[in-house]
Every structure is written in C-alpha cells, then in structure tokens.
Amino acid sequence: MDEKKIDIKVDEDVAVGMYSNLAVVRHSPEDFVFDFAFLFPDGPVGKLLGRIILSPAHAKRFLGALASNVQRYEAEHGVIDPGSAPPAVGFIQ
C-alpha cells in the first residue's frame, strides 16, 4: 500500500490541546459519538470540551490505534493503573 503524505493545518489553540477527565461514548447504527468533558473538582458541574462523531468502521480503526499506543506506552513506561490519579503538577517558588 502506497503511503501518501498528508499536510494537516492546525490552529495554535487546537495544537495546545485540552485536558478532559470525563469521556462518554454512545452509539447508534450509523455512528459513534465521543463526548469529552471536564468535571470541576469543587462540585457536580462540568463543561463539554468537544464532541467527535465517527463512523462504525472508523471507530474500530480508532480502537485499534488506541490499543496499539497503550501497548507501546506500557512497554516503555510500565503498566497503566486505571485507578491512579494523574501526576501532580508542581510549582516553582
């Protein structure tokens, strides 16, 4: 299979990314819907950050890509504990 080069333009605010601590996945016969949100620590309030809608075939390819990346991550950094908290961010005084 020939690999084609694809140039993807990205705005700076998108390239910086967003932190999500909640993801909800739903599906219908036609598509999968991935909602990414941030729940605020001081109460049951959150904000939807983004929604990605994929075809079933693309969702399955995404699943394979994610599984492959998790395997490579664990081979390099150790097994991920799903119950652990994200690493703390420090401040320099």
Confidence band of 84 (pLDDT split at 50, 70, 90): confident
Q: Is residue 65 part of a domain?
A: yes
Q: Residues 36-59: pLDDT tens digits?
A: 999 988 878 899 999 999 999 999
Q: Is residue 20 part of a domain?
A: yes
Can you list the alpha helix ranges (DSSP code H) found in 1-93? 12-16, 56-77
Q: Is residue 57 part of a domain?
A: yes
Note the pTM of the prediction, 2 decimals: 0.78
Domain that holds residue 35: 12-77
Q: Is residue 68 part of a domain?
A: yes
Q: Is residue 1 part of a domain?
A: no
Structural domain total, the chain: 1
How crowded is the C-beta side of 76, counted as CA atoms within 13 Å? 6
Query: How many residues belong to the chain?
Result: 93
